[in-house]
Amino acid sequence: MNQTIYCDHAATTHLKEEVRDFMNQYEQDSYGNPSSLHPIGKKAKDLLIQARQICADCLQASPDELHFTSGGTESIHLALFGAIKANPKKKKIISSPIEHSAVYNTLKYLESKDYQIHWLKPNAEGQISSEELSEALDDNTALVTLMSANNEMGALQKVGEIAQICRTHEILFHTDAVQAAGKIPVDLSEAKVDLLSISGHKFYGPKGTGLLYKRKESKVARLSFGGNQEGGFRSGTENVLGWLGLAKALSLACSKLSQESQRLQEMQSVLMSALANLPAFVLNGPSKLEERLPGNLNYSIRGVSGDQAVLQMAFRGICVSSGSACSEGKIDPSRVILALNPSEPWRAGSSIRISLGALNHADQLDRILAALKSLVR
């Protein structure tokens, strides 16, 4: 029987063996409460300091600018709500309709609470215009939030350029880097963002772990009150072991980033070249590899619904997805693909995402292609 091929790394990744071994190594030493004064608590606190320093080295940030969280969604909420709470007189937020649901649905909620959300329109390949962003900024703008890399169709944004525009206008800029971290370079010494969110399970770390970067001089209010953990920004007893795992996973990903990106792009290129010859498959997102996430492909298939395609691929032992994993169970067309192609609404309901990662290798490509081709016979 053919082994199942996992092509859904954008949804989640497995816990790498090196990360598991690293966590097991410290399991007996990390159970203490880092706020306690006794030796067991001191040992846990030292491990937490170690984890924070590892992440700081990977992201080129200061350790005291990093705040551990329970995942990407919490990191995003702390950033968005903290930014507007710190600037209560400003009621405008600038974003785009292709953001992850953790951002998009939060902004929809704020829209219902009398905030003005300015939705920048992406071009057909999912990129946001810096010129349109500049024109949208005004004295009433509290925050700009734009993702680094799209979770559905892999489009990369010019984060450094966007950050510089916002800095020039003295407006806070948050970027959702959940899909970007561990896959493309994230250097916070160069990209002067104010807030950045990541999630451990996207780069082979443990689920339930995340990180929020908050630049020292950025004015962001705290939302939780309690024991003043995480520099007073995020209260609650620390998940030391989980955050050690996140740090190890991020370190591994960053150390092999160039090599792994090239490997994924080579497989990505093979699939894109083969599917370009099949009229039924229409590529969503950037056509240039350098403008999309390594390993990410998104196609609309003429005459086949996305859900149908996912089930047929699963029947053939290939795990792919339709839309975002966070919207699983819904049959609504992808709002991301619809935003890119409003004149071709069929593409939103017929899209599938293939996201390659550590569990994929070149020997699997023929079988993946055969399964894809069988969808339109």
Looking at 55, 254, 319, 326, which residue is catalytic? 326
Residues forming a β-bridge with 95: 119
Q: What are the residues whose beta carbons fall under 8 Å from the beta carbon of 252, sequence distance 6 or more?
A: 16, 18, 19, 204
φ, ψ of residue 299 to 5 degrees: the values are -130, 145
Whether the CA torsion 356, 277, 156, 139 is positive or negative: it is negative
Long-range (24+ apart) CB contacts under 8 A made by 134-140 are 134/165, 136/94, 137/94, 137/165, 137/166, 137/169, 137/171, 138/92, 139/90, 140/90, 140/91, 140/92, 140/116
Per-residue DSSP letter, 295: T
**In the annotation, is 326 catalytic?**
yes
Longest dimension (CA), the chain: 68
- β-pairing, 318-319 with 141-145? unpaired
State the Cα–Cα distance between residues 29 and 51, nearest whole angstrom.
Answer: 14
State the Cα–Cα distance between residues 203 and 178, nearest whole angstrom.
Answer: 9
- How many helices (H) and strands (E) would you count in the chain? 12, 12
Give me the amino acid identity at 52: R
Active-site residues, by number, are 326
